[in-house]
Structure 1
Amino acid sequence: MIITDTHTHLYSEAFNDDRHEMIKRALSQNVSRFFIPAIDSTYTASMLQLEKDYPEHVFLMMGLHPTHVKDNYKDELRHVEEMLAKRKFYAVGEIGIDLYWDKSTLGIQQEAFRYQIQLAKKYKLPIVIHCREAFDEIFEVLETEKSADLFGIFHCFTGTLEQAKQAIAYNMKLGIGGVATFKNGKIDQFLNQISLNHIVLETDSPYLAPVPYRGKRNESAYIINVLEQLSHIYYNVSLEEIANITTQNSKDVFGV
């Protein structure tokens, strides 16, 4: 059984004291593929070091996170473009729109999102979308950019069944993580109406730890708890089958 964590911030400062031990715990649970989203240029060096330390397990993305779209966003986008031109990445992400923290930057968030989608098309890469309180705004951009070469993952999907279907219609897989284990997460109420062929697993560690670790630091090994919850949601489909299907889905998206 090979389990893929399609979204984990292994370079986070939250892991500075025990990063290698934490990764070993995940590997011991058969979590052996880690896809690493970017935030901004300040994390690039640590991401590259992580890949150097775990070349068979770590796969990097490049992008500018929407909450880091600030006054210097054009410099940051130049960095993204320079890195994509320089070496191999497996996705442009995480990118998108976040209106939870700051609504005043909506205009430049939309601009950065659209620009990075176009970079992904240029380099024939998937996108990994961050969406918080911004489904309408995200879908508006995707509608203008939709094409055969637009595809990727709707990271940390927390929407409704209709929004799930809309995301899938834009060639997006749904990234399912700890929220599926929350009593108030809501997605567990309809997820079994979505084929497993449209789903990938993620942790978003160190954030959004699943039950029974909710409120604590998340780590990639805890993806087992998400797997167990999905087995329950999908009426006792085995952990191995869900792991196999979702890993194959991740291969279809990332090409590795």
Structure 2
Amino acid sequence: MPLGTESTWLRRFSTAAPPRLRLLCLPHAGGSASFFHGWGHAFGDDVEVLAVRYPGRQERIAEEPWTSLEELADALTGELEPYLDAPLAIFGHSMGATVGYEIAHRMQERYATAPQLLMVSCRKAPRLLTPDTAAFGTDAELVEAVKQLGGTDSALLDDEDLRELVLPAIRGDFTAVAGYAARPGVPLPCPVVGYVGDRDPGVPAEAVAAWAEIAPHGFDLKVLAGDHFYLLDRRDELVEDIRARLAPQR
């Protein structure tokens, strides 16, 4: 990717030298690229992190949130083309895991290349997904649903002014998640790793383990202590596990 080139969709944590590998990080519903700020240079000098900036928040706050995961995946796959001069791994948390799944297939279809690894965090396998009716409830019901999940976004909702800013993006994302419910999964063209917290209130470990059914190139499950946002408290343990998986094969 030429130096100085900036994508609206991607926050790039560039490396000093051309990277050996790139890691695409996809946030959860209501999340933003800043969720992965601490990951920017956490995987070594030869791994470039690309954190996704969804419409309707932070730098893109003036844009309407998108309400289709498939359309998000389409747009992001197009944005990735200049970055495919190096292998790409994908990490998606919650909603981001589904977007990553869709991107993996689109990379194969459009560019005849597959991710080196797809990492899905706190997301049921596609055939187990069910609509989240909070997307279609009142603002109070949506706020309560987000607070039950926890994470940094729930704290923002306690501030009335901030709530007004962030709620449209959260509702847009929840609508997109609800519209993607339950479909047979298509086998992936790459290995898959599933991550989940052992106290996630809505995603049991066995639902993440079901990704193995569509991972003919290999599947591994990693259960960490914590809830739906285990990756905040267990950040160092998670980063170390990902770093080991992205290390050069000997």
State the TM-score, normalizing by the size of structure 2: 0.40
More helix by share: 1
